[in-house]
Amino acid sequence: MTETSRRVLVTGADTFWGARILRALEGDAAIEMLLGLTSSAAAGTFERARLVCTEPTYSALRGVVCSSQVDTVIHPAMIVGSVHASGHEIHEANVISTMNLLAAAGTSGSSVRHLVVKSSSLVYGSTREDPATFSEETPRSDVPRTDVERSLVEAEGLVDDFAHDNPSATVALLRVADVLGAHIVTSITKNLSRPMCPCVGGFDPLVQFVHEDDVVRAVELATRHRLAGTFNVAGPGRLPWSEVAAICKTRRLPLPPVRPALAMAPLARLGIFDFPPELDALLRYGRGMDTSRLVAAGFEYRYTSVGAVQSFAHRLLHPARSARAPLSAGTAPPPRPRSRGTPAPGRRRGPRREP
């Protein structure tokens, strides 16, 4: 771009987002060196990016940061769903890893000048007291009660501290809404791909989604333009959960409003549905975000919230990825993937950890 070439480090090369972002940045000619941190041998192969094996919590990163002289660190590896990770694992992955990463980035001798962190809209929470729309400045209404929310709030605090301690560095914090797309697997995508999806009886909350491609493009933009500040990343507009289910042609299975997780426990145990505590709150009160700040910074969304759901549903209902057949009304949808182990044809399987 305008300045000299960049040296970029991306965390979590073995996670969904780390790999996606590395692949996207490989095409960027302005990047001279691209490093991916991985803690397992399971990471995929990359054309240009070099992988650096580290310990999962990124302790002892100082040497890597200093010797490689990276100027940009992208941290997309935080866990934003609590189904496949215990509270302890989430804490290690989000708080401890971020702490170690930022300590290494801020150490003397480090040449890190730009930091991009992918956080989640979960930091806003979801309660009945919430405003219809969260702007980046709106505080959450309650104290975080779930492990994943608590750890993300804490990690964002660490990012704030880093920005405070390194005033010369630009720090972009991206708060990403619930993601849908062709490849990502989350509790929500899993539930929506069943013939029935859970909802909390009597509630039909407004939810907001962002397409996975837009998330990758937002990270790219934040990196390229060296954005500083907090940005919501969420497709414009929002829609009721009933409409989401209708677009995905799945019926809603109402759970009792009192302790729905308890009613869901057997089905969740069987692996048919995911019902993490953060989903309970979302399916009651929903969450909406102001998307104007990132747009003002030069971002153009390719998908609205509704568009993201429709794109996801299209892939779900037409897994063969043949010619774009219109969504046929009145005919039974094709069989859906039944178990976690067998991804639908045409769907690459995201790593287990994300999100």
Q: Does 298 bind another protein (CB under 8 A)?
A: no
**Sole window of 9-17, 65-73, 80-88, 232-240 interacting with another protein (rule: CB under 8 A):** 232-240
Instruction: Give the C-alpha distances (Å, rounded to integers) separating 93 from 113, 171, 215.
Output: 23, 20, 20
Q: Does 303 bind another protein (CB under 8 A)?
A: yes
Q: Does 157 bind another protein (CB under 8 A)?
A: no
Q: Does 260 bind another protein (CB under 8 A)?
A: no
Side chain identity, residue 328:
S
**Sole window of 93-101, 107-115, 127-135, 158-166 interacting with another protein (rule: CB under 8 A):** 127-135
Distance of closest approach, residue 308 Cβ to another protein, in angstroms: 9
Q: Does 251 bind another protein (CB under 8 A)?
A: no
- 171: which 2 tokens? 């720090």
Q: Please, which residues have CB within 8 angstroms of residue 270's CB and are 6 or more apart in sequence?
A: none
**Sole window of 13-21, 239-247, 315-323, 347-355 interacting with another protein (rule: CB under 8 A):** 239-247
Distance of closest approach, residue 43 Cβ to another protein, in angstroms: 30
Distance of closest approach, residue 233 Cβ to another protein, in angstroms: 16
CA distance 304 to 79: 24
- 328: which 2 tokens? 């046929």
- SS3 at position 254: strand
CA distance 344 to 340: 10
Q: What is the DSSP string of 285-314?
A: H---B--HHHHHTT---SS-HHHHHHHHHH
Q: Does 237 bind another protein (CB under 8 A)?
A: yes
The helix (run of H) or strand (run of E) holding residue 212 is helix 212-224
Q: Which of 154/243 has CB closer to another protein?
A: 243
CA distance 90 to 98: 11
Q: Does 154 bind another protein (CB under 8 A)?
A: no
Q: Does 88 bind another protein (CB under 8 A)?
A: no
What does the DSSP 8-state code read for residue 93?
I
Taking a C-beta distance cutoff of 8 angstroms, is the pair 330, 54 a contact? no
Q: Does 129 bind another protein (CB under 8 A)?
A: yes
Q: Does 106 bind another protein (CB under 8 A)?
A: no
Q: Does 107 bind another protein (CB under 8 A)?
A: no
The backbone torsions φ and ψ at residue 243, rounded to the nearest 5 degrees and listed phi first, read -70, -40
Q: Does 47 bind another protein (CB under 8 A)?
A: no
Report the residue from 238, 287, 293, 315 that binds another protein according to the rule CB under 8 A. 238
Instruction: Give the largest CA-CA distance in the chain.
Output: 65
Q: Does 58 bind another protein (CB under 8 A)?
A: no
Q: Which of 162/285 has CB closer to another protein?
A: 285
Q: Does 304 bind another protein (CB under 8 A)?
A: yes
Q: Which residues pair with 115 in a beta bridge?
A: 73, 171
Site string for another protein, 188-227 (x = CB under 8 A): ------------xxxxx-x---------------------
Report the residue from 16, 17, 301, 312 that binds another protein according to the rule CB under 8 A. 301
Taking a C-beta distance cutoff of 8 angstroms, is the pair 302, 211 a contact? yes
Q: Please, which residues have CB within 8 angstroms of residue 346's CB and are 6 or more apart in sequence?
A: 315, 319, 320, 321
HSE on the CB side for 194, CA within 13 Å? 20
Taking a C-beta distance cutoff of 8 angstroms, is the pair 205, 300 a contact? no
Q: Does 300 bind another protein (CB under 8 A)?
A: yes
**Sole window of 82-90, 182-190, 242-250, 275-283 interacting with another protein (rule: CB under 8 A):** 242-250
Q: Does 133 bind another protein (CB under 8 A)?
A: yes
Interface with another protein (CB under 8 A): 128-133, 135, 138, 200-204, 206, 237-240, 242-243, 246-247, 257, 284-285, 288, 300-304, 306-307, 310-311, 327
